[in-house]
Amino acid sequence: MKLKDYFKKAQKEKWAVGQFNFSTLEQLRGILKAGEKMKSPLILGTSEGESRFLGLREIVALFEIAKTEYDVSAFLNLDHGKDLKWIKDAVNYGYNAVHFDGSALSYRDNVKKTKEVVLYAHKKGVLVEGELGKVTGSSAVHKGKSEIKKEDLTSPAKVKEFVKETGVDSLAVAIGNIHGVFKKMPELDFERLKEIREKSNVFLVLHGASGIAPTDIKKAIKGGMVKININTELRIAWKEALKGELSGEGIRPYNILPSVQLAVQKKVEEKMKLFDSKYTR
């Protein structure tokens, strides 16, 4: 099945495909092992920062090898792409999907550049995710309270127009979600989500899902989210497991990193159960 087919299936059956970001080999393996074990489709995400660190060609090469080593339905997505040339390179090198993040632009410029990405990517059969509204925050553990500005939230009134003008396949929306994990997470605006869903049947994406209560994740999926992005929680699992291993005297990476990989795998499995994506391949 293609990624779009999984989105359609998820939309119809009320579950979600998880996107899990990686920037190290043990993260990649942990994610793929989880998908194989849970028999769940998954999306491997790399942000611009992650993809510039690893290199687009190296990422695609790892992905192509992984497809022969793991029995899993996996797809590769460029997450939060802002540089149009970088996005086009990802398309050319073999990514299955790209996300253009025009949230910092004016509405008109966001439409214009998103449409440019769509026209380019669709020629190669690559899906495009647009963004309307602004998902703020950063991938980190924050001690303070999260603050969401109302003007950053997605306007339901603009959704239909944005989707029609750009031709995006999926849409990242801001309904109170935020990047990073906070001591007090914000509340999601489910009424706004309902209004967005009523405006368009486009595939909806929840960014910044790390730290959101499981009950709210379930409610968001029921409300129409078909793709959910997890990054910060994976980084936390990676860091804590690595810290534990480095506190000992061992120096052999191949002895240290397996438990780090397992920690990532367990976190992904936990999310796949929550998203109800297990056993859907």
H or E element: which one contains 159?
Answer: helix 156-166
Cβ pair 206, 228 in contact under 8 A: yes
Is residue 83 part of the annotated active site? The answer reads: no
DSSP 255: H
- Whole-angstrom Cα distance, residue 70 to residue 43? 14
Token duo for residue 179: 């990047």
Say which of 5, 71, 79, 276 is annotated catalytic: 79
Close Cβ partners of 187 (under 8 Å, ≥ 6 residues apart): 176, 216
**Lookup result for tokens 């009424």:** 191
How does DSSP classify residue 61? Answer: H
Catalytic residues, by residue number, are 79
